[in-house]
Amino acid sequence: MSASTSLLGRPLGALRRLGGGPLTRLSTLVLVGFVLVALFAPWLAPQDPAFGELGDTFAGPGAAHWLGTDGGGHDTFSALLEGTRTSLAGPLAVVLFATLAGIAVGLFTAWRGGWVDSLVGRVLDILFAFPALLLAILAVALFGKGLTAPVLAMAVAYLPYTARLVRGLTAQEKVRPYIAAYQVQGHAPVFVALRRLLPGIMPTVLAQATVNFGYALLDLAALSFLGLGVQPPTPDWGAMINQGQAAVLEGQPLSAIVPAVAVVLVVVAFNVVGESLGDRLAGRES
Amino acid sequence: MTPAPALRAARSAVRRLLGMAVTLLVTSFLVFSSLYLAPGDPAAFLVRGRSPSPQELATIRQQYGLDDPFPVRYWHWLDGVLHGDFGRSYLFHQSVGQVLGARLPATLLLVGVATLLIAVVGVATGVVGALRRGTRTGSAVLLLVTVGAAVPSFVAAIVLRSAFGVRLGWFPTIGNGTGVLDRLHHVVLPAIALSVTFMALVTRVTRSAMLDELRREHVEVALSRGLPRRAVIRRHVLRNALGPVVTVGGLLVSGMLVSTAIVETAFGMSGIGSLLVQCVNELDFQVVQAIVLLVVAAFVVVNTLVDLVHPLIDPRVGAAGGAR
């Protein structure tokens, strides 16, 4: 127990208890790192990413610019750090909305059963036919560029996945004796569903939300890459890749490659952590 | 085949086709009504950024029947769509059908080549990953799958363009090309960029389906009776494993069609995907609406086809589906 009293012992111990292989631990560290960067970006960035030195375009990596500069003389490292904020906040909002709404829909339909259940099931089936990125593009066409409309549209597109998972899990749990016991004792259905049933299935839902976060990040980065999402000068990874494209043809791919590597790294980390959570919950070793 | 199962199969096929029709009707209604979610007057929304005269606005109102009741408007629109009339593009001064028709071949070529890559390379890698499980090759496949699934098409496009287009100069970096060979030469890199993510998914599903089948008793029995391993794997393992692969393949269709927007934009190609982005940028909603409708309809139709074909690959599914 002496280790847990030291300053570092606690988080490291938590990481160890999280289990999984070295890959899972590494991925967790990567995610924690990026979240910290997102929180403290303005203090960490060596320069203002919106400030371009026109005499210093396409500088290579060096002491002045750790990851070089882009075609407008902007410091790529600083833009990468500041871009972490929008790049993570967007998917967070998508997953938050989709998970909360999905839990509500899934719990309600499974609890209610009958025609409501089958009707909502059909509606969700139809929503599956609308891919998230397409719905986000349609939202931009209707409401204009930016993050708000696409985030809401993507939450609608991700909702069926959570709703179906929660519905399935709830239907399984509902018939177990402990639920009947609570009902016999006269507890209100809302109480039993939210306070007794939901906590039991929550870890599985969170594992899925983790994987969804990675996909939502990809979709939003793609939207910004197309020039329809986050608009410059707001720093964003997808928008950075979009702006670095022209430089790629001039043989200067660094300012596009750096944010691309960040996107891939974060998505791999989210997938590894989410799947390892899911595997452990399902009781199988990968 | 006795008449009863045949009848059951036909009945389930008809039920699936009816379900498809209903789904198409509902999705078309959703896509149609999306126009009325836009803030402001629909007529003004359709011609944003073009400052029309009140007269022109009145013409548009009349053209789209905006003064009719909602169901009547939908009915007229649906009637037009079913006859191939998607309205008029204000950007190109052509009918939407003509605009789409001119760009469809390029996108079909791109998606076709990508599908071929996914089917051949994805399934083959999955088979190798399952058979060489636990060896260095098997681990390499697992690593490829994990990373590949996280490489979005725009990242793949940047890397491929930079490495094989600019550095090595093996492939053109922009445009569609002219003539058959030149077109194929132009489509290689975009098709690879489009297929990376989906290839990883197909590899993964193939691998796990193969592993599930390899553990089956009948496979063990066949092997222990001394049947050649190659034949057992081809006829008993791979054949049974293909069912889930085809199902997942159907689900990937919509993702692939949307990703053409990214890949075509990244490689400066002219196709349906880059048209979608252009028309969002230049406020041509009629074209956007038509493309959204086509992508969703393609997804619904392909997945119904997969459902219909599935029993032919794996007869057990047909029996179970019919009994339901």
How is residue A259 written in tokens?
């944010």
Q: What is the 3-state secondary structure (H, E, C) of chain A?
A: CHHHHCCCHHHHHHHHHHCCCHHHHHHHHHHHHHHHHHHHHHHHCCCCCCCCCHHHCCCCCCCCCCCCECCCCCEHHHHHHHHHHHHHHHHHHHHHHHHHHHHHHHHHHHHHCHHHHHHHHHHHHHHCCCCHHHHHHHHHHHHCCCCHHHHHHHHHHHHHHHHHHHHHHHHHHHCCHHHHHHHHCCCCHHHHHHHHHHHHHHHHHHHHHHHHHHHHHHHHHHHHHCCCCCCCCCCCHHHHHHHHHHHHHCCCCHHHHHHHHHHHHHHHHHHHHHHHHHHHHCCCCC
Write out pLDDT tens, residues A147-164. 889 999 999 999 999 999
Q: Residue A111's pLDDT is what?
A: 86
Percent of all residues in chain A with a pLDDT value above 70, rounded to a whole number = 83
**Do A218 and B277 count as a contact with CB atoms less than 8 A apart?**
no
Kindly report the average pLDDT of chain B as a whole number.
84
- The three-state secondary structure class of B39 is coil
Q: Residue A18's pLDDT is what?
A: 59
Report CA torsion sign: A118, A119, A123, A126.
positive
Write out pLDDT tens, residues B188-229. 899 999 999 899 999 989 998 888 888 888 888 888 888 888
List the single residue in A with minimal CA-CA distance to B250: A129
Interface with B, mutate which of A27, A134, A210, A255 (most B CBs under 10 A)? A134
Interface with A, mutate which of B41, B48, B155, B287 (most A CBs under 10 A)? B155
Considering CB atoms only, which of A125, A142, A264 is closest to B155?
A264
Whether A80 and A240 have beta carbons less than 8 Å apart is answered as: yes
The interface predicted TM-score (ipTM) is 0.87
**Range of weakest confidence among A13-17, B178-182, B281-285:** A13-17
**Do B146 and A271 count as a contact with CB atoms less than 8 A apart?**
yes
B121: confidence class by pLDDT, cuts 50, 70, 90 = very high
List A residues 218-257 in contact with B (Cβ-Cβ < 8 A). 218, 221-222, 225-228, 238, 241, 244-245, 248-249, 251, 253, 256-257
**pLDDT at residue A205 above 50?**
yes
Whether B296 and A129 have beta carbons less than 8 Å apart is answered as: yes
**Do B154 and A126 count as a contact with CB atoms less than 8 A apart?**
no
Chain B residues inside the 8 Å CB shell of A237: none
Question: What is the rounded distance in angstroms from the CA atom of residue A156 to the CA atom of residue A148?
Answer: 13
pTM across the whole model = 0.86
**Do B162 and A248 count as a contact with CB atoms less than 8 A apart?**
yes
Nearest to B270 by CA among B110, B154, B140: B110
List the single residue in A with minimal CA-CA distance to B24: A126
Q: Residue A16's pLDDT is what?
A: 58
Write out pLDDT tens, residues B143-158. 888 888 888 888 898 8
Segment A22-26 mean pLDDT: 83
